[in-house]
Amino acid sequence: MRLTPMSSAEQWEALHSGKIDFGYGNYPPTDRSLRHTEVTCERLGVVLAHDHPLAARPNLMMADLRGESVLMQPRSLYPRLHDDIIVAVGMRAITLQVMAEVVDLEALLTLVASGDAMTFMPENQVRVLMLGEAVWRPVGDLDVQVCEVALWRPEQDDDPLLRPLIDIVHEIRNRQQAHDGGTARCPGD
């Protein structure tokens, strides 16, 4: 097994060409020629320093972010998510004050925890990341979800090497759905 970082769109192309046999990305394929399973789908919120004035509020709205400094990961890492965020805030007539793009997630969270700026992050990542002196808050009118999607070619459904991986993905999804009490749907699915 070899892991190769690719965007969701790059994975779709690599699956079609046979360059890869299995993909794991953030968006379901835009065509029906690939099989996919949504493992999780989480709402996007903001992470900010625990002593930031907005941290005292349990829920935020997009208007609350007006004029706030934001750090983001580079568009090249997550092009569609980056674009989804920009479009979502633009639809609310808000312009993000992006101070910088930070590649390293640990450095990004350190800068956020120090009070330099806030960042966007899906709720499920908060459960596994050490936020330190930062907190995650939902943004009620930010209509962006981040999903984890497994992808493969239909002709590989019964492949003896790939089938166990597909079964594991389905098992993880089923456990997640049982834990969450239902399913969240990803955009475009």
- Residue 18, judged by CB atoms within 10 A of its CB (0-12, 13-18, 19+), counts as exposed
pLDDT digits (tens, 9 = 90+) for 145-175: 988 899 999 999 999 999 999 999 999 989 8
Give me the pLDDT at residue 168, please. Answer: 94
The domain in which residue 136 lies consists of: 41-145
Query: Is 173 within a domain?
Result: no
Q: Tell me which amino acid residue 174 is.
A: N
Residue 160 lies in a domain: no
**pLDDT score of 5:** 83
Q: Is residue 36 part of a domain?
A: no
Do the domain assignments include residue 97?
Answer: yes
Q: Which residues pair with 36 in a beta bridge?
A: 151
- Whether residue 127 is contained in a domain is answered as yes
Q: Which residues of 125-143 are buried (b: 16+ CB within 10 A; e: fewer)?
A: bbeeeebeebbbbebeebe
Q: How many CB atoms lie within 10 A of CB 83?
A: 11
| Average pLDDT by stretches of 10, the chain with 189 residues | 82 93 88 90 92 95 94 88 92 90 88 92 78 87 91 93 93 85 50
pLDDT at 181: 67
Q: Is residue 25 part of a domain?
A: no
Contact 130, 108 (CB under 8 A): no
Q: What tokens appear for 172 in the block?
A: 């993880």
Quote the pLDDT of residue 128. 67
**Tokens representing residue 146 in the block:** 């981040």
Residue 94, domain member (yes or no): yes
| CATH number of the domain where residue 57 is located | 3.40.190.10
In a domain, 74, yes or no: yes
Provide the pLDDT for residue 57. Answer: 96
Task: Please state the domain count of the chain.
Answer: 1
Q: What is the pLDDT of residue 131?
A: 67
Which pLDDT value is given to residue 130?
66
